[in-house]
Structure 1
Amino acid sequence: MIRMLLRVLGHEYARPVRRTVALMTTTAVVEGLSYALLGGTPADARPWLVAFGAAVAVYAVLRYVSDLSGFRVGTTLLRGVYHRLGDHLARLPLGWYDAGRVGEVSVMASRGVLQAMGVIAHLLAPFVSACVTPLTIIAVMLAFDWRMGLAALVAAPVVAAIQIWTGRSMAAADAERHERDREAGGRVVEYLQAQPVLRAGGRTAERFRSLDDSLREVQRASRRTVLSALPGMVGLALAVQATFTVLLVLGARLALGGDIGAAEVLAILVLAARCADPLLSLSDIGGKLRGARSELAGLDAVLRTEPLPEPREPVQPAGHGLEFASVTFRHGDRTVIDDVSLSVPEGQRLAVVGPSGGGKSTLLQLLARFYDVDAGAVRVGGVDVRAISTEVLMAQIAIVFQDVYLFDGTIEENIRLGRPDADEAEVRAAATAARLDEVIERLPGGWAANVGEGGALLSGGERQRVSIARALLKNAPVVLLDEVTSALDPVNEAAVHEGIERLMAGRTVVMVAHRMRTVRRADRIVFLDGGRIVEEGRHDELLHHGGRYADFWNVSLAPATHG
């Protein structure tokens, strides 16, 4: 576990951890050796009592210093791990962040990191003490009497075997409990999000079956975890008590036979009793360490996830034209893009239409290098995106998604994400161009109005206008639009369209759309189905051809015609 901890922390933090472990080990050894000063006769009690008191004082100082070191190192490493995790997450491909992964990382970055780093501050010292102090005391017992010491030493492999067996037997139960906790957390979120639907259906008094089932599974998993731990706890207690009983019987026999004095037997039994407490605490410490280990394993898995490789000698794109050259991309066992070739000359607009699941959004993601292709090449300005540094590539592209995420802050702060060094006039101009100024005027706080977490205090159309203003402020030469008006009301759709037109002016554009009216002004349209280009051409050409695009166009107009 220490190796995994050091791997998660990184090389720069390994030294303080090793120093803290060494200090804790020294403290545990001093604690065990202090009991070697017990003994002697009543006549010379004062010297060994003074020596014992001095040893206890030294141990107390060491214990204070080692515990303080553990807390300080734990606090420092907590900050360091947050920085390391944040830096690593910032380098992972954006395609890695699916819906399930985001929730998992969110829990890991809060509770997971705290629990994992709590090992150093709260668990490492008692664990080292529970392991090292009894072994040191056994060494002292061997010095008192080799027979009694040897009898105590026999218990060491027994205790170790019980701990290993307990850990292995509980691994499956711990993993199941962790999984059930994760599922229950998801069901709670689902229950909260489903409140409007449940209340609209008049089911406010009913229990949410999937949540109840999930909580029952958590209860069962918790019961199995406790039951799995019981044999180890009982076995450890029996082993410790049996060892003490053996030492008691052996000591009495040796004392009655005159082979050892009563004072030595008493001292050895005191040492044996002192061994029992830390050994019995191993069960509780072991359970906490297993929980921390699972969190460490999750952190380790994320930190070992390889980011997309950066080019050793980055190439600067020459221009802003886009090209897909025989591109194939697979997601798992499914081929999402199948041998697609197309180009978008600089300054032109390409519209991508087709049925859901056809691979439209994936084309945008490959252009932005959320993923790397399995075959072929995606080029920006004539250069493979894999040969362009991430910083330069992202500077070339502005993306407006269908689902807009805003940070919990003011509108101005969210717009400035497009270009943090922009002056106030540029921010205001971008907001006006996106028709966001009329939204700001009716908000109570104006520019200082808080948008809430994820932009929850704004409507979907208002969030979209913030996103467009952000893209306008960035002023990138390539614009990627992903279904930006598919779920807007007519008023917001008109405002967003106006902002989009300003955003697209003079730029190379690839837009994905379901509403066909948004694509008719594109310089070129491709119809994508099953990851392949079925048709391509201009709007009028494709309508005249009477193929799949024409069918989509007619279906999109049918509701309006019918009305």
Structure 2
Amino acid sequence: MAELWPYLRPHRRILLIVAGISIVGAALAVAQPATVSVVIDAVQNGRSMGPVIALLVGLLLGGAIVNGVQQFLLQRTAEAVVLRTRRDLVQRMLSLPIAEYDTRRTGDLVSRVGSDTTLLRTVVTSGLVDAVAGSLVFLGSAIAMALIDPLLLGVTLAVVLLATLMVVFLGRRIQKLTLLAQTQVGLLGAAVARAIPGVRTIRAAGATARETAAVDGIATEAYGTGVRLAKIAALIQPVVGIALQGAFIAVLGLGGYRVATGSMQVSELVAFILYLFMMIMPLGRVFQAYTAIQNALGAVIRIREITALDPESESEPESASTDAGPVPVDPASPALEFRGVSFDYDGVPVLRGVSFRVERGTRTAIVGPSGAGKSTILALIERFYDPAAGTIELDGRDVRRSSRAATRARMGYVEQDSPVLAGTLADNLRLGSPEATDEECVAVLAAVNLTGVLERDPRGLAAQVGEDGILLSGGERQRLAIARSLLAAPDLLLLDEPTASLDSRNEVALREAIDAVAQRRTLVVVAHRLATVADADQIVVLDGGRVRAVGTHDELLGADALYRELAEHQLLV
């Protein structure tokens, strides 16, 4: 209950109503054997049976109606529990610190939203309330049986206790296996999510059979765990059956003897046996409910593993007083400044003592060999991570003194492999600017030389871009990402290797687009091809996580050996 209550608490009012209905249903059920006993006495004594039979029929119909209402309320509540849990889980997943996504697999996260949350439905529909209702009927039956014959009740409870101990033992195994099974389902989802986006690469490399075998291996492991789980779960029903048969045989034998000796009436024995069945059948429901709850607890552990993580908004340094409002602009300060910034990733040093300034309205390029820390600088500006030492100032203000949302609202960010979301051109453009008009979308596409995409499809902005933008070329995807950032009218635009994967023609088109949008904006561009940034106002040369030199293209050719070597390799000297 401690584990499940957070998910059930928002629905406690309707659950109390269902519990009340369960009490009524239990009372109607417990009254039926007693009524049958009265019918038998009436037959034996020659009394009229009409009123008693009418009462019995009324009890049966009332119990059926109560059960139907209860099931409807349970199903609706179960769907509400799953919906709320999925909402909370997705919200937490999408707000986790970026570092969490670096170590987790997408398919596993998706399985927690899908299959894990679905198990919570079972807790409500055939778990928790079934356990409560079954327990009420069990208790009522036990009281009635005690009134009829305490000795027979003692024999019955001894058999029931043995069955209960066996079910509890099996239930603990079920929880452990369910956790393992759900984890393996997550791994399977992660393997499929890895293979499908890369299916073209896999086919081209002739690796289809190997990838299929890898996914099949994980699926086989999940199957094995599922079979083990099924074996244990399958033992529950025989245990209930054995308990019912054992108790029935014991009661029938001992009860028959007591009837023969005159210690017990036939009507009492019949009523006792009916109560016995009424006790054992709900007990079966309780055992099944216990199994369902153990199943759900395995899934709850995986769900709580994510919901227990702090979201990004709670990851502010304790020493900083964070303001949620817009970042104030100081015209006298540089647009961006790094002061002695150091950063480690998973214990590995990435940046060490990085310092440079970016003046307002200028274009700054960051260059250097692979692994120098270029992309990390943009990630720190975007506050995907916070530096281990030093400060990053935006308009003269430490970015950690403002909320991440307020900081990011001032800038646009185009990643090295800019994702294009499945949907339309308009969907992608309005990702960060949902209120943008069609005219504004068309204008920003024109600014990055993407008018041709509109013209070749009669649907215009409603044209589909395909999964991961597969219907667009690499250059078009990159320019669409820039257009998406520009639509939000940022003061600072961050571009991470915008021409890294483009041919010379697309590179020229993208450079023209960058030149067009650079006016009245501050640009920070991470570049591999120096030709795209040779005309930058300043170039920051990184090597081994440190700033080697800062200057213009011409200045660095004469002042820095590494830059000159890079330029020579790219035939710029």
Taking structure 2 as the reference length, the TM-score comes to 0.85
Q: 2:29 aligns with which of 25, 28, 31?
A: 31
Compared with structure 1, are the counterparts of its residues 54 and 297 closer, same or farther at alpha carbon in structure 2 (3 Å cutoff)?
same
Counterpart of 2:246, as a letter, is A
Structure 1 residues without counterparts, runs of 5 or longer: none
Structure 2 partner of 1:352: 366
Counterpart of 2:189, as a letter, is G
Q: How far is 1:243 from its partner?
A: 3.4
Structure 1 partner of 2:441: 427
Matched, 1:214 2:218: yes
Matched, 1:71 2:75: yes
The answer as to whether partners of 2:127 and 2:290 remain within 8 angstroms in 1 is no
Q: How far is 1:48 from its partner?
A: 4.2
Matched, 1:7 2:6: yes
Q: 2:153 aligns with which of 149, 154, 157?
A: 149
**RMSD between aligned alpha carbons?**
3.4
Distance 2:556 2:261 in 1: 108
Structure 1 partner of 2:328: 318
SS for the counterpart of 2:37 is coil
Distance 1:19 1:169 in 2: 33
Structure 2 residues without counterparts, runs of 5 or longer: none
The answer as to whether partners of 2:107 and 2:193 remain within 8 angstroms in 1 is no
Distance 1:29 1:330 in 2: 66
The answer as to whether partners of 1:527 and 1:549 remain within 8 angstroms in 2 is yes
Structure 2 partner of 1:60: 64
Per-residue CA deviations over 1:302-336 (Å, capped at 9, x if unaligned) read 33322222766435423272233444444444444
Counterpart of 1:440, as a letter, is L
The answer as to whether partners of 2:322 and 2:400 remain within 8 angstroms in 1 is no
Distance 1:498 1:428 in 2: 18
The answer as to whether partners of 1:398 and 1:479 remain within 8 angstroms in 2 is yes
Structure 1 partner of 2:306: 302
The answer as to whether partners of 2:111 and 2:189 remain within 8 angstroms in 1 is no
Counterpart of 1:116, as a letter, is L
Per-residue CA deviations over 1:36-85 (Å, capped at 9, x if unaligned) read 44413124555544433333333222212211212233344444444444
The answer as to whether partners of 1:404 and 1:467 remain within 8 angstroms in 2 is yes
Matched, 1:168 2:172: yes
Compared with structure 1, are the counterparts of its residues 12 and 552 closer, same or farther at alpha carbon in structure 2 (3 Å cutoff)?
farther
Distance 1:207 1:313 in 2: 49
The answer as to whether partners of 2:337 and 2:357 remain within 8 angstroms in 1 is yes
SS for the counterpart of 2:380 is helix
The aligned runs of 1:451-462 (5 Å cut-off) are 451-462=465-476
Counterpart of 2:522, as a letter, is T
Structure 2 partner of 1:258: 262
Q: How far is 1:475 from its partner?
A: 0.9
What percentage of aligned pairs have identical amino acids?
29
Counterpart of 2:327, as a letter, is P
Per-residue CA deviations over 1:100-123 (Å, capped at 9, x if unaligned) read 443333333344444434543455
Q: Which moved more, 1:190-199 or 1:104-113?
A: 190-199
SS for the counterpart of 1:386 is helix
Distance 2:257 2:370 in 1: 85
Q: 2:186 aligns with which of 182, 189, 206?
A: 182
Distance 1:202 1:285 in 2: 49
Structure 2 partner of 1:396: 410
The aligned runs of 1:485-496 (5 Å cut-off) are 485-496=499-510
The answer as to whether partners of 1:67 and 1:125 remain within 8 angstroms in 2 is no
Distance 1:196 1:95 in 2: 28
Distance 1:325 1:150 in 2: 80
Distance 2:124 2:508 in 1: 57
Q: 2:430 aligns with which of 398, 416, 422?
A: 416
Compared with structure 1, are the counterparts of its residues 208 and 68 closer, same or farther at alpha carbon in structure 2 (3 Å cutoff)?
closer
Counterpart of 2:445, as a letter, is A
Q: How far is 1:289 from its partner?
A: 3.9
SS for the counterpart of 1:399 is strand
Distance 1:369 1:19 in 2: 48
Compared with structure 1, are the counterparts of its residues 353 and 290 closer, same or farther at alpha carbon in structure 2 (3 Å cutoff)?
farther
The aligned runs of 1:338-349 (5 Å cut-off) are 338-349=352-363
Distance 1:153 1:328 in 2: 69
SS for the counterpart of 2:419 is coil
Matched, 1:406 2:410: no
SS for the counterpart of 2:364 is strand
Q: How far is 1:431 from its partner?
A: 0.9
Per-residue CA deviations over 1:355-394 (Å, capped at 9, x if unaligned) read 4444332322222222344444333223333332344222
SS for the counterpart of 1:208 is helix
Q: Which moved more, 1:231-240 or 1:422-431?
A: 231-240
SS for the counterpart of 1:39 is helix
SS for the counterpart of 2:216 is helix
Structure 2 partner of 1:363: 377
Structure 2 partner of 1:523: 537
The answer as to whether partners of 2:174 and 2:295 remain within 8 angstroms in 1 is no
Q: How far is 1:396 from its partner?
A: 0.5
Q: How far is 1:229 from its partner?
A: 3.8
The aligned runs of 1:80-99 (5 Å cut-off) are 80-98=84-102
Counterpart of 1:318, as a letter, is P
Structure 2 partner of 1:440: 454
The answer as to whether partners of 1:411 and 1:451 remain within 8 angstroms in 2 is yes
Compared with structure 1, are the counterparts of its residues 369 and 463 closer, same or farther at alpha carbon in structure 2 (3 Å cutoff)?
same
